[in-house]
Structure 1
Amino acid sequence: MGFSAGDSTIDSGAPLARPLYRDDDDGMQSLRLKHLLTTDIDPAEKGRLIERLDRSLVVTGARWAALLVTGERGLQVLVAGEIPPSIHRQLGELRVRRGEALSFPVHVTNRAASQGYAVEGAVVAGRDAPQGHVVLGFPLAERGSARRIDLVKLVADDLSGLLEGNALAAQMEHIRSHLSLVHRLGQQVTSIHDRGELFEEITRLIHRSLGYEHIQLLLTNEASGRIELIHASGPFAPQLMTAGFSEAIGRGIIGRVAETGRTRMSADVTLDNHFVSHAMLPNTASELALPLRLGARVVGVLDIQSDRRDAFRRDDVILLQTIADQIAPAIEQNRLFAAERQERELADTLADVSRIISSSLDSSHVLEAVLQELRRVVPHRGCRVTLRGDDGMMRVVAARGYPDDELVRRVAFRQEDAPLSEPVMRDHRTLIIGDVTREADWVWQPGTEQVRSWCSAPLVLGDECLGWLCIDWPEPDFYNTEHGRIVRTFADQAVVAIGNARLFARVKELSEVLEQKVADRTAQLRDARDEIERKARELQALLRRLVGVQEEERRRIAYDLHDSVAQSILASTYELQALRRRVGDSPDLDQRLTQCQRLLDSTLREMKQIIYALRPTVLDELGLIPALENYLASLPASVPIATDIRIDGTPFTLGPEADLAVYRIVQEACQNAVRHAGARSFGLVLSFSETWLEVSIRDDGRGFTIDAAENGLGLVGIRERASAVGGEVTIDSSPGLGTNIVIGVPSGATAH
């Protein structure tokens, strides 16, 4: 590039061209010097000088006066009085170098004499060198005198003082403008945090305030060993930024400055063997490059180019070096701030990404979320997730950004068939390949022909590498170590979600297997339960049938006993009574007949009790309550138990089956209380509600443990009888606390 300078150092004695600029009150308006030439003396100063020349005519008596001032554009002539045009022209054609004393040529003196004037001149002195010359034209007729010469020197001294004062004022203004520029630049570089905006503001301020044609800001890239254009200002800046520019450190003026850290200037690039021209800056005539240093480290170069030779003044060079010294720490601070902000944004993004990809445990959703959110942290054209399966095969389980994502997702291969997978899977390394076409171990996979730059990070969960996450770009050398670091950080976040999803999938698979086994077992248990219920129903039906057969058999036996045995006993009693009447007076025989009579009467009573126990006729004839009262009243006198019966509510008829069931339950409970519990009291309470009869049976016997007696035939029979008529039974008993049996039977209950 045409940004270059020679090896010469800045010579303080060499004349440097001064770039003209204007720094207004707002500090932002300035004139850029391109090819326009302007005078060194502004109109106000010129007016004051002519006014002094007019005053010199009065003091000296001269007819005309001329002030010859040497400047950057050459000799400038200011006149007062009636100077002949020919003399004015010849004075303007004089060639006088700046800082040299003037010796008037003979032809100028002769021309003045021919016009009737005698010429007297004097040097207008300066601090370091003459600033110009003053020439006064006196009438030739007047004789010269020493006093006239002294007057001319006095005029020269007066003009010298005026020019010196103006120079000092201009220098002060120049310094003020420089300080203003440094102050504004210091404010800008500390208040702007956006990197691109900072670079633009630096070049803009220098360009507009100092008026140089081309301002370039370049930063070193230590990794690549080059210095790269970051921003530019000037007429060709857009083209330069679009085309881009970088130079090897050590090559050209910019490269030499980046290497040595010393300011370099080329007053005339045509005489500089280190200058390298650039097609976009063909008119570069001089160049100044200043290092941007942080201690001993050069972070960049501020390069300024002008279309004029000797364009850089010494004070401007000092100013620019001051600016460069301010820019370097500002750029580093901005870099650190940008890096910190980037890290913070990356951390926030990764936290957000982690929340998003962890919001679901579905494996396909997690993989798609990983690839979707990856674009937020690192640029890429294509991305893939490759995982190792249970069979050891590597499979692309998710892909995005390829011409045919489905084709890429069908890829499966063995790990040993892809040599680049070894450092990732075994060593857990992050790989960056600048150009896969130059990589000998690269293995092309179907659908990935677009890949040139490639970056891969392992998916490490604990000590196990599940696979890798890779991104690619269709241009070579796109990814650097920073990209690799970001991808690795993202992969470390993503692998947790991927691991959770895989674990969830495994748990889901095992859960489905378990659910199937549970379903199968449940079906088996359901079948077994149905079989048990069927058997239970059969047993209940059999039990009810057995109870029914039992009751029927009792009724038959009771009728048989009543119609046969009881009648025979009764007939025997009648025969025995007739025999006693025929025997007459035989005391011994009468006594024996009386004993027989008593035995038959007792047998008949017992037979009646047996018949009543087998089938209480009172139950059929009078109902449940009279039957229970009669049963309790007919207990043998030999049974030492007190009985009590109470009726609550309005009695109603349950039905034959329910009456018989309640009667048999009370009969069974009473027999248990007498035979097994040793009870001294037996209480019976019948509570009638509108649709429900509750029978409470209580005794004060020795009681029993429910669990131990649960399977006893007595309790089973009680429960079955109640269940047969739709009733419920509650049994409460404890050893030493008696027994309480509560039976609930609905009204209108029938056997079922």
Structure 2
Amino acid sequence: MDHPQGVASGGEPPLAEAPKEGEVGRCGLPGTARGLLCLSEVFGFFDRSDLSLSEALQGIARAIHGGFLDPGSVGVRIVIGGRAYQAGDCRRSAPCLKEDVLRRGEKLGAVEVYLREEKPGESRYSFRPEGRLLLRLISGALGRLVSRKEMEETWRWEREQNRALAELSGALLTAGDIEEISWVVLQHAKRMTGSRYGYVGYIDMETGHLVCPTFTRDIWDACGVKDKGVVFSDFRGLWGWVLKNRQPLLSNRPAEDPRSTGVPEGHIPIERFLSVPAVMGGLLVGQVALANSDRDYGEKDLELAARLADLYAVAVMRMWTERELDRYRLQLEELVRKRTRELERSNLRLRRELEEKARREEELRNMAGQLRSLSCHLQSVREEERHRIAREVHDTLGQELTGLKIELSLLARNVGDDAELARRLSEIAGMVDSTIRSVREISAELRPGILDDLGLEAALEWQLARFEEKTGVRCRLHAGMEERLLDPEIAVTLFRVAQEALTNVARHAGAREVEVRLFREGEEIALQVRDDGRGVQEEELESASALGVLSMRERAAALGGCLSIRGDRGRGTTLEVRIPMVSPAGRDGRQGEDLSTCGSAFPERGGSGGEGDMEGNLDKGSGGR
């Protein structure tokens, strides 16, 4: 490059004559005071954690430019990583003053000052020594700024990624519709990677075709392909390569990729492409694909998509399981209808042939037993599914987070004396610990292992301890019965009712103390939960939003039991559930009872008057668990 007259070939301009007393160069940074003010403004951007690296560098360029006596004749440009941030007029062919930006000896860029020529070929300019020193100080500090901002952006990325995974884990536990879960996964993936387009689809378990429900909500109107659809049987191009090979793919030049087969007429142009398969247990269950990010995709984008695909695979497997259960249910219903028709014909024959009566009655009793067994089986399947999902969330997400924590620990050992970096790593490690605790909480909420291992009384003690720790409400448990006599199905039901009742206390009661009693009375097992809160009112119990109360009633009814709730304003609430301690075959007789009352007496609490409700999942929308 040609250098302007008076500028050394090495890029370092000669120092002009010192200005006379009381006079400064026409573009100089005169005086220590003015230089310090400029330096102070520049270093102010170092503490702006709300600014990105690009925003901070642009602000620093403007601050340096504003420090000149005649900003109109000066241009300042900062070049970092191939990107330029400038302020003022930088049209001169070469900078008059230039300082390299270094980080541990590595050149990251430079700070350049340009001087506008007043006349063609004029090269007269002057920079005071303070100006040169100021520029060196700034360029020397910019290397540290770049390192800090890169670390901040990495930290923000990890935080957003963990937040997205936590939100998605919650959606997997609450949303039952695979289309909605697919949409949630796509929205997180697009937001985190800056992608304009994308899709999330699952494999149909019967046909093996890829079904993409997100097409109709994301890019359907923008796509001009003739005969477009959401089901694909022929896996072609880059996306098809991912499914066929069950391997991730990242291409920032997809048109040049030899695996690409191009796009059909009317298709949205693909400028960048990233996709990962959703695989569980070696089985292909779906795909996450993204396109046209506002930047090149990188390894961290691929890692994020892979983690989202892992969680999506859990949702698809759950959908497959539910559909299989529905198919079995329909078959069983058809079987029941078929047998019912047979029974009707048998009844006609029974009127004519008394000798056939005994055989037909036996057949009817056998069928009733099958129906009762089916009801218990379906309840068991639902509980086992919660158990399985809890284990999957705990093992898959928990192991990955533990690995991330180990990596952070190893990284922390190599930061040296960089206290700021060590602090950042410590904060990230704290976030990972918090996420691990959240995963454990989610898993425990689905199915606490202590219930299976140690029994109902131990599980209630554990639940009350957690409740007291989280809410500060003092808890007491009174249990006096032999658990070996307790049916496991009854134990699960009573534990779930206790969980819901404690949730209601925390949300609505304003209580200071909770008392839980577990006892046997005659041929019934009873669970009683009392609080000293505000006391539930009858209209709250009858509200359509009291879904938690409805859930508890239904759980008790499934085992032939009943639930009662009574509250006294300002004195608290008492909830009691009673379930007969009989075999499952003997429960049918009570399942049709009116569940509005339980018919039991409430033991009195010294001087407290009437007892009441758990302020229930009178829950403004918490629903039954």
Q: TM-score range by the shorter chain?
A: 0.3 to 0.5
Tell me the TM-score normalised to structure 2 length: 0.47
Q: Max radius of gyration: which structure? A: 1
Q: TM-score when scaled to structure 1?
A: 0.39
